[in-house]
Structure 1
Amino acid sequence: MDFRQLKYFIAVAEEENIGRAARRLHISQPPLTRQIKQIEDELGVTLFIRTPKGMELTAVGRLFLEEARNIALLFEQATERTLEAAKGRLGRLDVAIFGSGIIDAIPKIMLAFNETYPGVKVHLHQMGKAEQIEALRQRRINVGFNRMLVPQPDLTSELIFTEPLLLAVNEKHPLSRLDSIPFRALKDHPLILFPREGRPNFIDKVIAICAEVGFFPRITQEVGDAVTGVALVASGFGICIVPKSLTALTLPGVVFRPISERPAHWSVDLSCIYRRDDETPILAAFLGTVRAFRAGLPKQA
């Protein structure tokens, strides 16, 4: 089986019809039908159910389609990275992003990179921390953004900035009447935390800090991301600790308050992570944009 046959299979699977797939591939129907039959014979499985309306994937066919698309993606990336090496400023950059980081800093970095390198096709992938690390090692992405990264021997992380944490409160909540909220007051109210995945994570950080102060937080909800957490605050489910950058997100009924009498390390980082051995020109250009963005930030106390 060769890559051309995989393309034929993907086209038939997506079009669900030999005729439409043949037109898409600019070939006639009989050779396409023969190629699909040859793939099935080689694998020894039935990939399609032939119906009067067209071609319907079997369960095995759906699995094979997922794998075929992965192979096609890797082939596309290999082709574009060859062009990148030859031309320097052309190619593809795969960037992993996550929940709250996409609210403020990451879009600004991506926009600055796009303005400087318009010939680079940037593809964004929503991934948690563990998935980003795996995707880097599998070379499915070039760089990721996340928080509280644990050092990895084959990966490099660079701090972009740290930011203070605020409390998202429903405007009808008693705490909303305070200009700032003492840290110990958190123990008396239901707390929404995020994210559930990628331990150690922000939830672990909050629990550890509360333990240092002498109490265990009343965690009522653990959600996937900060946006969901703030949405639950708007609905009256509790209060939520969020990075300051999330104040750019406005939801009706939610106010943000600083936290007073807090521990000294009451902040969270935003970092980027990439393969230590990745010396491609596009990654170097992107890291240059990240570092320029970091250099332009106000000095932190």
Structure 2
Amino acid sequence: MEFRHLRCFLAVAEELHFGRAAQRLAISQPPLSVAIQQLEATVGARLFDRDSKGVRLTPAGQAFRSRATQLLAQAEDACALAREVQAGEVGRLRLGFVGSTLFHGLSAWLQAFQAAHPKVEVIVVELNSQDQIDALLAQELDLGLLHTDRLPPALACEPLYAEPFLACLPADHPLAGEARIALADLSDEPFILFSRKGSPEYHARIVDICRQQGFYPRLQHEGRHWLSVVSLVAQGLGVSLVPAAFERAGVQGARFRPLTQALAPSSVFAAWRRDGANPLRETFLAARPARP
């Protein structure tokens, strides 16, 4: 049985006239008659009675009509679904993100994307960069927003944005009231850094920034998320160097100050597996604001 047979059957069932049904299908009448004969042979029942009074559905034809309508509707739904999936309009996107993206437009990006693509389910989970890399390799994420472009060969990435580093100090720190501070002025302070395990490359980068300013940071605590780092600073347990986005986090007790030195910025990258196209990933990335 072919779907064209069902379309021919339904056209005749609705028109109850082979000529009008053929016109509706944009075919001549003989092929239509052949299609109905082939369908009746496949079904094993006569579906129409034809005589001088016209064309009528048989009881078998009446029963077959409702199921044939359902089958065609399901087939059309399946075709529409396949087209939507290919176009990135439906499905599920598993998205990992580092905390700084929440204060750099990620929420607005997600809301705009969901409004434009209501059939897409976006599952978001906050993970540090290393955990996102592991999840991407394990195919547990479709897309990651992370702080490094030093990735395994199986992963690809593109830059999203960059922002400066700021000194993060307790509110009662002697330098908290300064307009700008020199990083070297914090050389004797206990430092709270992003976890070496959570993002080895990012941890090493901050250590290198301090070394370039003539000192090695005295590590007091580590946090697996940047908000943990900022919160520990706010409680007076040390100082840190953090992406500028966290100034907008509203953590009470923390002060953020620009540095007198020009430092390489903190960057965020979108990362994904190289193998296999993912229309949803492409659709999501294409929908990002110019400055997320």
TM-score bracket relative to the smaller structure: 0.5 to 0.7
> Matches of 1:129 and 1:253 in 2, distance apart?
27
Shift of the 199–214 alpha-carbon distance from structure 1 to 2, 3 Å rule, reads same
Q: Is the contact between residue 100 and residue 225 of structure 1 (CA under 8 Å) also seen in structure 2?
A: no
Alignment-mate amino acid for residue 133 of structure 1: I
Provide the residue aligned with 1:271 in structure 2. 269
Provide the residue aligned with 2:232 in structure 1. 232
> Matches of 1:116 and 1:83 in 2, distance apart?
18
Shift of the 213–254 alpha-carbon distance from structure 1 to 2, 3 Å rule, reads closer
Alignment-mate amino acid for residue 278 of structure 1: G
Provide the residue aligned with 1:297 in structure 2. 291
> Matches of 2:80 and 2:237 in 1, distance apart?
52
Provide the residue aligned with 1:55 in structure 2. none
Deviations 1:70-119 (A, max 9, x none): xxxxxxxxxxxx99644331111110122333333322322221122111
Deviations 1:150-206 (A, max 9, x none): 133221111011100111212211011211111211202111111342443322111
By how many angstroms is 1:145 displaced?
0.7
Provide the residue aligned with 1:121 in structure 2. 121
Shift of the 130–173 alpha-carbon distance from structure 1 to 2, 3 Å rule, reads closer
Q: Is the contact between residue 98 and residue 146 of structure 1 (CA under 8 Å) also seen in structure 2?
A: yes
Q: Secondary structure at the match of 1:167?
A: strand
> Matches of 2:284 and 2:137 in 1, distance apart?
19
> Matches of 1:297 and 1:95 in 2, distance apart?
19
> Matches of 2:95 and 2:229 in 1, distance apart?
24
Q: Secondary structure at the match of 2:131?
A: helix
Q: Is the contact between residue 83 and residue 90 of structure 1 (CA under 8 Å) also seen in structure 2?
A: no
Alignment-mate amino acid for residue 186 of structure 1: L
Q: Name which one, 1 or 2, has greater alpha-carbon Rg.
A: 2
> Matches of 1:171 and 1:211 in 2, distance apart?
25
Q: How does 1:99-248 map to 2 (within 5 A)?
A: 99-248=99-248
Alignment-mate amino acid for residue 94 of structure 1: R
Q: Is the contact between residue 171 and residue 255 of structure 1 (CA under 8 Å) also seen in structure 2?
A: yes
Tell me the percent identity: 29
> Matches of 1:231 and 1:103 in 2, distance apart?
15
Provide the residue aligned with 2:251 in structure 1. 251
Q: How many matched pairs?
A: 211
* Residue ranges of structure 2 left out of the alignment (5+ in a row): 1-78
Moved over 6 A (4+): none
Q: Secondary structure at the match of 1:231?
A: helix
By how many angstroms is 1:147 displaced?
0.2
Provide the residue aligned with 2:84 in structure 1. 87
Q: Secondary structure at the match of 2:286?
A: helix
Deviations 1:26-69 (A, max 9, x none): xxxxxxxxxxxxxxxxxxxxxxxxxxxxxxxxxxxxxxxxxxxx
Shift of the 123–273 alpha-carbon distance from structure 1 to 2, 3 Å rule, reads same
Deviations 1:261-301 (A, max 9, x none): x2442x210111011233232122112113xx2xx239xxx
> Matches of 2:257 and 2:131 in 1, distance apart?
33
Alignment-mate amino acid for residue 153 of structure 2: P
Q: Is the contact between residue 209 and residue 263 of structure 1 (CA under 8 Å) also seen in structure 2?
A: no
Deviations 1:212-250 (A, max 9, x none): 232111221111111111111221111121111111111
Alignment-mate amino acid for residue 188 of structure 1: D
Shift of the 84–155 alpha-carbon distance from structure 1 to 2, 3 Å rule, reads farther
By how many angstroms is 1:123 displaced?
0.6
Alignment-mate amino acid for residue 84 of structure 2: K
Q: Secondary structure at the match of 1:181?
A: coil
Shift of the 172–198 alpha-carbon distance from structure 1 to 2, 3 Å rule, reads closer
* TM-score normalised over the length of structure 1: 0.65
Alignment-mate amino acid for residue 248 of structure 2: A
> Matches of 1:83 and 1:153 in 2, distance apart?
36
* TM-score normalised over the length of structure 2: 0.66
Q: Is the contact between residue 191 and residue 217 of structure 2 (CA under 8 Å) also seen in structure 1?
A: yes
Q: CA RMSD in A?
A: 2.2
